[in-house]
Amino acid sequence: MTTPPLHPSLSSLSFLLGIWRGTGKGKYPSIEDFEYGEEISFSHVGKPFLIYTQRSWDLQNHNGLHIESGYLRPVGNHRAELVLSQPTGITEMHEGEIISTKVEFSTLEVSCTPSAKQVSSVKRILEVTGKTLNYNVAIEAVGYPLLPHLTSQLVLS
Amino acid sequence: MTTPPLHPSLSSLSFLLGIWRGTGKGKYPSIEDFEYGEEISFSHVGKPFLIYTQRSWDLQNHNGLHIESGYLRPVGNHRAELVLSQPTGITEMHEGEIISTKVEFSTLEVSCTPSAKQVSSVKRILEVTGKTLNYNVAIEAVGYPLLPHLTSQLVLS
């Protein structure tokens, strides 16, 4: 299997391509602060979207904490849509603005299965500065307003 | 990395575990009939959900046709929730009933990004009979009612 050429529509998102690893910090009023290891991958198959996968783990015992997966697709001029799902029973749909090496997403829709914790909005920002991918996630959940939840700094592995 | 033991809550879904490969047929009033190769994987990481990934390809030139990914999580007595996303800009959320080696899903929600083809409902059925995983997908989309769309027969690879 050879990797096909990058679809031309992905040129404005190509700065995300690769496997990024590092550490992050999490907080929210309903939980204890925590730190985690994280790996994020953006890959492609020659089609006009990036494949997104994420996993995080406990830095002490290396147990898995969270995973999610989805797709980032460019739509028109410096904009992209992100869809993803989480094993916690959540799907997300966002529209993002691509500004140089930053993508700032606004929630189109967050849906929760009946058994999931209720999350009503998620704000995700991806930004590469120098060699670091900064990933910030704020959430509006379980009765609290939109508040910072996750921030991680990752480098290409 | 060793595979952790299967989470006890997954016992009723363990019949799906593995990588399944085979072929399928697709149809819908808005498109030409087609055939495809397909690979579906259900895996686990020791937590109370299965990881679902799917890819299909053109049988003639082996070009990729479709991929999707998500999670299947048991909820209570012989029921499971399925969440997934597609690079076509679609997220799906289903609740399923587990009857022996069959899971029949009903749509809780299908969401489409502004740039996606509009799909309003998806009916997915997974059933293992003998050594074959039969995967059937019906969709209600682009103005048509719920109609059969995909049917594939896959075996463990």
How many domains does chain A fold into? Answer: 1
- What does the pLDDT read at residue A3? 80
The answer to whether residue B1 sits within a structural domain is no
> Between A45, A83, A111, which is nearest B64 by CB?
A45
The answer to whether residue A3 sits within a structural domain is no
The answer to whether residue B2 sits within a structural domain is no
Give me the amino acid identity at B54. Q
* Distance between B87 CA and the closest CA of chain A, angstroms: 5
The answer to whether residue A2 sits within a structural domain is no
The answer to whether residue A16 sits within a structural domain is yes
Predicted ipTM of the assembly: 0.95
3-state helix, strand, coil in chain B (%, to 5): 5, 65, 30
Per residue in A11-33, pLDDT (tens digit) is 999 999 999 999 999 999 999 99
Range of the domain at B30: 8-156
* Distance between A51 CA and the closest CA of chain B, angstroms: 8
Strand duo A31-43 + A18-28: pairing: antiparallel
Local structure of B68: helix, strand or coil = strand
The answer to whether residue B62 sits within a structural domain is yes
* Contact residues, chain A to chain B, C-beta under 8 Å: 45-47, 49, 51, 64, 67, 69-71, 73, 75, 81, 83-87, 89-93, 95, 108-109, 111, 113-116
CB contacts of B91 in chain A (<8 Å) are: 83-85, 91-93, 109, 111
CA nearest neighbour of A89 among B122, B108, B45, B156: B108
- What does the pLDDT read at residue B19? 98
Per residue in B32-52, pLDDT (tens digit) is 999 999 999 999 999 999 999
CATH at A41: 2.40.128.20
The answer to whether residue B28 sits within a structural domain is yes
Task: Give the model's confidence band at B1: pLDDT under 50 very low, under 70 low, under 90 confident, else very high.
Answer: low
The answer to whether residue B3 sits within a structural domain is no
